Structure 1
Amino acid sequence: VMELLLSAFLIIQVLGSVGGYPSGAPTGACEDMMPRHTGVVPQSSPAPYSLLTNARTFQPGKAITVTISGPEYRGVLLEARTAGSTSALGSWRLPPPDTTFLLCSGNPHGAITHSNTNLKGNATMYSWIPPNSTKPIFFKATVAQQRAVYWINVKSDALLRGGYSQGHDPKVNRKTKCS
């Protein structure tokens, strides 16, 4: 009986270690956004998903809504970034149902991930608050239809800082009238 219990325990331990992360991405996935699903690789086909935003520009403190358009999905890791950076930027608001915050780049609200494997769809809206930045910002996601079927590097179009052109301070560029 003891050998049978020990065998059952070992099988459970092994099976548990080859699974995905049904309650959300691990913090270690923040930079490369790769799921730590043992024995599977990302899909090589183009992602059937797109990241859509409700604005083309951002202003610090003014919420941006992001939706993941495409087939229903079970897993997600969603961050905002600037070009060339692996750091999560800004702050996500209250996560929608079946999702939760993920501590990334020292920010407790730096990313959103799934909290379970319930289906999520186009009606799931994520709300993000931009920081005070002049650099263009884009959203980046890893989206999983199921444990072994996922796409990395799903990106939105870049959002520019509203109110002035990138790299120009509106106070400096004001034209003055000569009399």
Structure 2
Amino acid sequence: MRGTRSTQTPEAFQMKTKGCFRLLLVELRHSLMEMLPGLIVLQLLYLADCYPNGAPTGACEDMLPRHVGVLPQPSRAPYALPTNMRTYQPGVHVTVTIVGPDYRGVLVTGASTNALGGWMLPPPDTTFLQCSGNAQGAVSHANTNLKGNSSVYTWVAPDTVLSPDYFMATVAQPRTVYWINVRSTTLSSEKLSGIGLATDASAGMADQKPFLLFLICFLLLQSLA
């Protein structure tokens, strides 16, 4: 007895193929959903571990720590950058403190990206960072240990004082939460202040010249009378 061969219409074949693809997509989606938490954890670990031993050299340009996918906080920074003096001379030591909550990551430099002067031996858990060719142009974190108000940074003014100076800092706590452009008050140069005083004195003498000439002429006329 000859067996009968089943026939399948093109429409039925397409329906079966679509069913297989749908089943495959469902399985793939289910697998991705199971993997998603692990991927998120890996991403967070990657972000949290960015540059644990100090900011990259490129951070000197814009004070950004280069944390991939993480933006600086838009709110006002809960930190201040007080200094021990308001004026400075060439070679003088200025101490800078980051006052606020404890922090883990830091980048502090003088005169923003100019990296003028240099820093003395950094406090514990921090290290030098080369900026603008200056090997001691900035200080950054050396690890992720907590740092606080007891960390004092000492800056040495450059030998040539050309303009007022100030300090800039980026502070992170932890690395996914950070603030940039934490700025100190401006330190004026005593050398420039002296020049300003001399200029003012010269201007004062110039203002008094007409009066002096009048006085001399008056005295001459009196002597001839």
Q: Work out whether 1:142 is the aligned partner of 2:173.
A: no
DSSP 3-state at the match of 1:60: coil
1:75 is the counterpart of 2:102: no
Determine the C-alpha separation between the residues in 2 that align with 1:26 and 1:37. 10
Cα deviations by residue, 1:61-81 (Å, 9 ceiling, x for unpaired): 110000000000000000001
Asked if residue 48 in structure 1 is aligned to residue 78 in structure 2, the reply is: yes
- Contact kept? 2:118, 2:157, Cα under 8 Å: yes
Structure 1: where are the runs of 5+ without partners?
1-10
- Residue 29 of structure 1 is matched in structure 2 by 59
CA deviation digits over 1:38-62, x for unaligned, max 9? 1110000000001010000011111
Q: For residues 18-167 of structure 1, what are the structure 2 equivalents within 5 Å?
A: 18=47, 19-81=49-111, 86-131=113-158, 132-165=160-193
What code does the residue aligned with 1:158 have? Answer: T
Gaps of 5+ in 2: 1-38, 206-225
So what's the TM-score if we normalise by structure 2?
0.66
Percentage of pairs with the same residue: 57
1:165 CA displacement: 1.8
Which range moves more in the overlay, 15-24 or 128-137?
15-24
Q: How many pairs are equivalent?
A: 161
Shift of 1:163: 4.8
Q: 2:3 maps to which residue?
A: none
Tell which structure's C-alpha radius of gyration is larger.
Answer: 2
Structure with the bigger RCO (C-alpha within 8 Å, sep 6+) is 1
Residue aligned with 1:52, SS:
coil
Larger helix proportion, structure 1 or 2? 2
Q: Of Structure 1 and Structure 2, which has the larger fraction of its residues in strand?
A: 1
C-alpha distance after superposition, 1:100-158 (max 9, x if no partner) = 00010100000000000000000100000001213010000000010110000000000
